[in-house]
Amino acid sequence: MKLNVQTLNQLFLEARTHKAWQAKEVPDSLLKEVYDLAKMGPTSANCLPMRILFIKSSLAKERLKPLLDAGNVEKTMAAPVTAIIAYDLQFYERMGELYPMVDAKSWFVGNEKFSQKTAFQNSSLQGAYFILAARACGLDCGPMSGFDNTKVDEEFFKNTSWRSNFLINLGYGVPEKLPPRLPRLVFDDVAKII
């Protein structure tokens, strides 16, 4: 069944990347709800490598601030929550429960290149599912790659197997502050059916 227009608008057609934020709190319970939708999106061999660190307190925000590109500081400081979408390089430790039909862990142990590719590819997908799940829950998003991944990993994930992928500011945007929508490529520019 095709979704109705109102739903398509909320998820895609009217959803925007927000940079100005209302001073309205995002409850932790809503972040959990968003994750519980996003986790249902498909990943290769159900490997689920995405990990998320939600930066919510002003103390945590101050730790993130110097690691951001200058153009991302103001919007990130104003956002009620910033999610660090990360991946676990040792995601394969959970494969026994997540994909029990075969010994999937053995595909990755000792194969750093394949593990890295799988973790990055699938956590990027899961981050995209997270954006759509957040929109489905009535939140606005502001994804960002303009930050120092190495420094973020050092600051927040030192001595762990987590690595940062990208950031998402989360909250309730200020539509009046949005710039005009940028163009999108049309089907014939990007797709071939053979």
Ligand X SMILES: Cc1cc2nc3c(=O)[nH]c(=O)nc-3n(C[C@H](O)[C@H](O)[C@H](O)COP(=O)(O)O)c2cc1C
Q: How far is the CB of 67 from ligand X (least distance, A)?
A: 12
Is residue 129 a contact point for ligand X (CB under 6 A)? no
User: Between 16 and 39, whose beta carbon lies closer to ligand X?
Assistant: 16
Residue 103 near residue 64, CB atoms below 8 Å? no
Q: E strands, 43-138, where?
A: 50-55, 81-88
Question: Which of 65, 117, 177, 181 touches ligand X (CB under 6 A)?
Answer: 181
List 111, 145, 150, 160, residue binding ligand X (CB under 6 A): 145
Query: Which of 143, 149, 151, 153 touches ligand X (CB under 6 A)?
Result: 143
82 binds ligand X (CB under 6 A): no
Sequence-ordered list of residues with C-beta below 8 angstroms from that of 155, at least 6 positions apart, any chain? 63, 64, 67
Query: Does 83 contact ligand X by CB under 6 A?
Result: no
# residues contacting ligand X (CB under 6 A) = 11
Pick the closer one to ligand X by CB: 118 or 169: 169
Whether 38 contacts 130, CB under 8 Å: yes
Distance (Å) of CA 139 to CA 30, 134, 156, 165? 9, 5, 25, 21
- Which residues make up the interface to ligand X (CB under 6 A)? 16-17, 71-72, 143-146, 166, 181-182
